[in-house]
Structure 1
Amino acid sequence: MEGSLAAALVVTGLFAGLAYGLGMVSRGGALGGLLVGTAIYASLGPAGFAVLAFFVVGGSALTRAGYGRKEESGAAEARGGRRGARNAAANCGVAVACALLAALTGDETLAAAFVASLGAAFADTSESEVGGLARRTPRLITTLRKVPPGTDGAVSLPGTLAGVVAAGLTALLGLALGLVDGPGATLLVACASFLGTVADSLVGALAPRLGNEITNVLCTLVAALLTLLLS
């Protein structure tokens, strides 16, 4: 399951350079992605890196979709949608920890938790980006009152459905790549990933001062812990 460090550096370096060249990440994001990707590839091999790449490419594509409309409504990502180093750490820090522990212990449950954490990150991004394009005004998850797009803790039906799809696709990819063992575990990973986004929205609504990075960490952490506890 493990990949060599040299291969990890080469593959991840090429991917980070391409992502920067395509405007998906900033310079800091490319460096952060290089560190994250190298750790994941060295720990879980090409399969782990493929799940990471799925999140990065899918999330970037959704961020760019209808970017002008999102800017007008205030729901667009800063820096033209380029992800930075802090974003890489917030979304992938838990995944890196799970990957390293999986490599050290050989515990397959940790590999599934790795997939769940990235599934939660992708689902959260999907909810935000698709929700930002929704014509209907989003509602705060705690009170269901209408709030402006981009408000912490805001949810919408299109965004929620997008999150469910993203969580499911990530879990299925983990199954196809051998990181998730069987249909039951795949369903658990998908559900844990989505529930991570619910936790993200609740924390965002109840404690908006925490900031986006901290809620992203909590989102991925909840998904990973649920997978570990319920497996």
Structure 2
Amino acid sequence: MQPTLRRAGGFALIGTISVTAPVLGRAAFVPFAAVALLAAFVITDGPLFDLFARPSDHREGRLNGLTGFALAAAGLAILATELGLPIDLFVASVFVLSYGNLGKRLVAEASDEPFLGTAGFGVAGSAAGFAGQAGVASLTSSPIVAPRFAFLAVAGALVAALFREMLFERDDPLVMLSAGLLLWLFDSLAVSVGVVDIGAALAVTVALGYASYALGAASVAGMLSGVLLGLLVIVFGGFGWFAVLIAFFGIGSLSTKFRYEEKKRRGIAEENEGARGTGNVLGNAAVALLCVLLFAGSRSLPVDGLLFQYAFAGSMAAALSDTLSSEIGGLYDSPRLITTMESVPPGTDGGVTWQGEVFGVLGATVVAGVAFALLPDVGFVGAAVVTLGGFLGMTADSVLGATVEGQQFGNEAVNFAATLVGAVVSAVAALALLGP
């Protein structure tokens, strides 16, 4: 057995201590605090040290990895017993990370394929997160709500896997704390989760996520971002919202791959063979995610939740409009800088062609059409509002590209600003034209 696999098994055993939280009550943090003290000051050599030590620990003569892991678990335990984090989510967060890492290491024994390792983390972490919640329910004589447990377990595993891809192995404490806090948020927003909804959501998002990775449309981190985003959109919004999201990702990915070699020759092709990474996904969809979370929490806000629906669709219309205008419009000659109309070389930030503008409007119209067909209360006027938001978002992207991109802002920041413009314009126009 490889040392990394033995170490992952040891961390999983330490993580299992969290299931005693319902019994220990306010002392739930004590076992992890004790482990942290032992790891930091007592266990400096011998078999236990060799079991838990990472390469950097050997160099420093201290179990820093185990110390950080235990302190993060102790911190979550205090949040659970003193500040209201549900006990089952504390346990689920610890289980997701510790057993997810074990699952990844088990897969690594047979294959070094990144996707398979991530899948091992996701499957093991999800199963452990569900088991942790069910274990707490059994100890406290609470009902086992399988659909809700499954949603939270999978969401936690996706969050942890995504952070593990973006960060480093030594950042496990940050991953655990982030997963716990986000699960707390998701739990507060998920009023009800049905068996059919969660089953369909998992099947659809995982299948599309794998397809995007297999076809080279997304990196592993980009795939995780997309699957997590899709799961949250379906659970908090519905399948109509998901269809709007997929309209952007599906058509946008195809346009990125369209005549890719020619784009490379022109110097306007996306990096990594067009595969979307986390930055690209979040740059285009962070506003949409915020909209769906606000929609889910709108029962506690003095705002009509339907406005967030228009904002969501407007942000996606802006994202697809901008993607088509640049990916297809960039294939045409004689672009002009949007701010001065002077001729610029292809690929210049802020350079537009009339063909790109036409395809941009078409992209916004496609998203508006999907919203009209599948989102409740979006009529012809609502579809026009979404199209307007998409067009103005695309225009804002071009103006920002011509003025600040590459200086103060990167491409992802400009994409975020453009989708925010699309969301705000659509929501304000809907409020003005359709009323409260």
What TM-score do you get using the length of structure 2 for normalisation? 0.51
Q: List runs of 5+ in structure 2 lacking aligned partners.
A: 1-191, 300-304, 431-436
- Report the AA paired with residue 229 of structure 1: V
Which residue of structure 1 lines up, in the alignment, with residue 356 of structure 2? Answer: 159
Q: Could you tell me how far apart the structure 2 residues matched to 1:17 and 1:40 are?
A: 18
Structure-1 separation of matches of 2:353 and 2:321 = 13
CA distance, structure 2, for counterparts of residue 170 and residue 180 of structure 1: 15
* Contact 1:111/1:179 (<8 A) preserved: no
Q: C-alpha offsets along residues 61-120 of structure 1, whole Å, 9 cap, x if unaligned?
A: 111111111100111111111111110100000001111111222611211111110111
Q: Which whole-Å CA distance do the structure 1 matches of 2:399 and 2:260 have between them?
A: 26
Match of 1:126 in 2: 324
Partner residue in 2 for 1:54: 247
Question: Is the counterpart of residue 214 in structure 1 residue 405 in structure 2?
Answer: no
Cα-to-partner distance string for 1:197-229 (whole Å, 9 max, x where unaligned) = 111111111102211100100010001111122
2:241 touches 2:375 (CA, 8 Å); kept in 1? no
Deviation larger for 179-188 or 139-148: 179-188
Alpha-carbon distance between aligned partners in 2 of 1:186 and 1:179, rounded to the nearest angstrom: 12
Question: Structure 2 matches for 1:174-213, cutoff 5 A?
Answer: 174-179=371-376, 181-208=378-405, 209=407, 210-213=409-412
The CA RMSD measured in Å over matched residues stands at 1.5
Distance in 1 (alpha carbons) for counterparts of 2:376 and 2:348:
35
Contact 2:388/2:425 (8 A) holds in 1: no
Alignment of 1:2-151 (within 5 A): 4-105=197-298, 107-134=305-332, 136-151=333-348
Query: Structure 1: 5+ residue runs without aligned partners?
Result: none
Distance in 1 between the 2:247 and 2:388 partners? Answer: 18
Which secondary structure does the structure 1 equivalent of 2:342 belong to?
A: coil
Partner Cα distance (2:335, 2:376) in 1: 35
Query: What is the SS of the residue equivalent to 2:375?
Result: coil
Q: CA deviation at 1:178?
A: 2.1
Query: How far, CA to CA, are the matches of 1:179 and 1:78 in structure 2?
Result: 38
Q: State the alpha-carbon separation in 2 of the partners of residues 180 and 101 from structure 1.
A: 18
Give the counterpart letter for 2:379 in structure 1.
G
Which residue identity lines up with residue 230 of structure 2 in the other structure? G
Contact 1:171 1:187 in 2 (8 A): yes
Q: How far apart, CA to CA, are the structure 1 residues paired with 2:250 and 2:426? A: 24
SS at match of 2:237: helix
Which stretch shifts more, 32-41 or 165-174? 32-41
**Counterpart contact for 1:115–1:179, Cα < 8 Å:** no
In the alignment of these two chains, the number of paired residues is 229
C-alpha distance in 2 between matches for 1:230 and 1:46: 24
Output the CA distance in 2 between the equivalents of 1:225 and 1:5: 30
In the superposition, the TM-score normalised over structure 1's length comes to 0.94
Instruction: Please say which structure displays the higher CA radius of gyration.
Output: 2
Counterpart of 1:111 in structure 2: which amino acid? Q
> In the aligned structure 2, how far is the partner of 1:154 from the partner of 1:76?
15
> 3-state SS of the aligned residue for 1:77?
coil
Q: Report the Cα offset of residue 5 of structure 1.
A: 4.4
Q: Distance in 1 between matches of 2:247 and 2:323?
A: 12
Rate the CA distance shift 1:8–1:197 in 2: closer, same or farther, 3 A.
same
Percent of aligned pairs with the same amino acid: 39
How many angstroms apart in 2 are the aligned matches of 1:179 and 1:36?
21
Counterpart residue type for residue 418 of structure 2 = C
Point out which structure has higher relative CO (alpha carbons under 8 A, 6+ apart). 1
Structure 2 residue identity aligned to 1:114: F
What CA deviation, in whole Å up to 9, does each residue of 1:1-35 have, x standing for no partner? x8644543332112111111111111111011112
Instruction: Report deviation, 1:37.
Output: 1.1
Alignment correspondent of 1:229: 428
CA distance, structure 1, for counterparts of residue 200 and residue 394 of structure 2: 33
Q: Cα–Cα, structure 1 residues 180 and 206, in superposed 2: closer, same or farther, change >3 Å?
A: farther
- Amino acid aligned to 1:89: L
